[in-house]
Amino acid sequence: GQQLNQSPQSMFIQEGEDVSMNCTSSSIFNTWLWYKQDPGEGPVLLIALYKAGELTSNGRLTAQFGITRKDSFLNISASIPSDVGIYFCAGRVSGNTGKLIFGQGTTLQVKP
Amino acid sequence: NAGVTQTPKFRILKIGQSMTLQCAQDMNHNYMYWYRQDPGMGLKLIYYSVGAGITDKGEVPNGYNVSRSTTEDFPLRLELAAPSQTSVYFCASSPPSTDGYTFGSGTRLTVV
């Protein structure tokens, strides 16, 4: 079945540093999404990307939809302690089901 | 708006017991999903529904059942609990568009 490979698996950084994570797939997706999960909560949508090559920002977050439609990356600039959590990429499966395939997640820890 | 409500938040089951995880949404979303989250594995789709009366298997449906008698509710049933079903379960809903999901806050299930 379709799979997304997300890396790195975990990151431990100093407050103020920039962070980059990416997601790759052997399949093409028409929509890429990035979610953040705080401890004890469900994931929350951060950014949605709909077109190959699209670069979208949401505050300190920037995400890109790869030209090949098989990858995406997420950058966080000037990290702060509340950025701690698990970040998931997701690709939308083609067809009219709305199904998403999720990456394994990147656990981010920020040291004040 | 409550969004997506999951109950219970925590549950401990003995092997062989059964239970129903409840999920309700008040956003009139057609699409609903059940995922399980295991450490380092991301989110795996168990079952999904594109509307009342319509359900279909996801990636990991064995040991689970669902029903969708109304647009609002999408309960997940475990008939014979097994230790392999120890996990955190998330329900999500979405409109039939390219927007992302709204997740509930999860049910943490332990089978002993």
Q: Please report the pLDDT score of residue B98 as a whole number.
A: 64
Assess whether pLDDT exceeds 80 at residue B1.
Answer: no
Cβ of B103 and A43 within 8 Å? yes
What pLDDT, in 10s, does the model give residues B72-82? 999 999 999 99
**Which of A1, A90, A98 is nearest residue B59 as measured by Cβ atoms?**
A1
Q: Assess contact for A55 and A48: CB atoms under 8 A.
A: no
pLDDT interval class at A1 (50, 70, 90) = low
Which tokens go with B32?
A: 């609903």
The residues near A49 (Cβ < 8 Å, ≥ 6 apart) are A31, A32, A33, A56, A63, A64, A65, A72
Listed residue (B92, B110, B106) closest to A41, CA to CA: B106
Question: A33 to chain B: which residues are within 8 Å by CB?
Answer: 100
Find the chain A residues whose C-beta atoms sit closer than 8 A to any C-beta of B: 1, 4, 6, 9, 30-31, 33, 35, 40-45, 48, 50, 88, 90, 92, 96-105
Summarised one tens digit per residue, pLDDT across range B50-62 is 999 999 999 999 9
Contact B92, B103 (CB under 8 A): yes
Mean pLDDT for chain A overall: 93
Say what percent of chain A tops pLDDT 70. 99
User: Could you tell me if B32 and B49 are in contact, meaning their C-beta atoms sit under 8 angstroms apart?
Assistant: yes
Q: How far is A86 from chain B (nearest CA, A)?
A: 10
pLDDT of residue B99: 72
Q: How far apart, in Å, are the Cα atoms of B80 and each of A45, A51, B33, B41? A: 34, 44, 21, 23
Question: What confidence category does residue A95 fall into, taking pLDDT thresholds of 50, 70 and 90?
Answer: confident
